[in-house]
Amino acid sequence: MILSISGVVLLGVIVFLFFRKDGLKASHAIVATLFGFYLASTGIAPSIEAGGESLASLLGGIKF
């Protein structure tokens, strides 16, 4: 649960920065958000979640 909340916050910050700095229009952000909600209700959602968890564990295992 903590990972998904921090992931949502991170992606929200990225969208906000794109909106402020790179010219992301509000309509584009709304469409992307709606696409995410609709995608979450499809059969591919568990695969996307597993891929996100795999990426998070890969990034978490990097030692500097």
Q: Is the pLDDT of residue 3 over 70?
A: no
Give me the pLDDT at residue 5, please. Answer: 65
Q: Tell me: the pLDDT tens digits for 8-56?
A: 777 778 888 887 887 878 888 787 887 788 778 888 888 888 888 898 8
Give me the pLDDT at residue 15, please. Answer: 80
| Domains of the chain, residue spans | 25-63
Predicted TM-score (pTM) above 0.85: no
Q: What is the largest CA-CA distance in the chain?
A: 39
What three-state secondary structure class fits 18?
Answer: helix
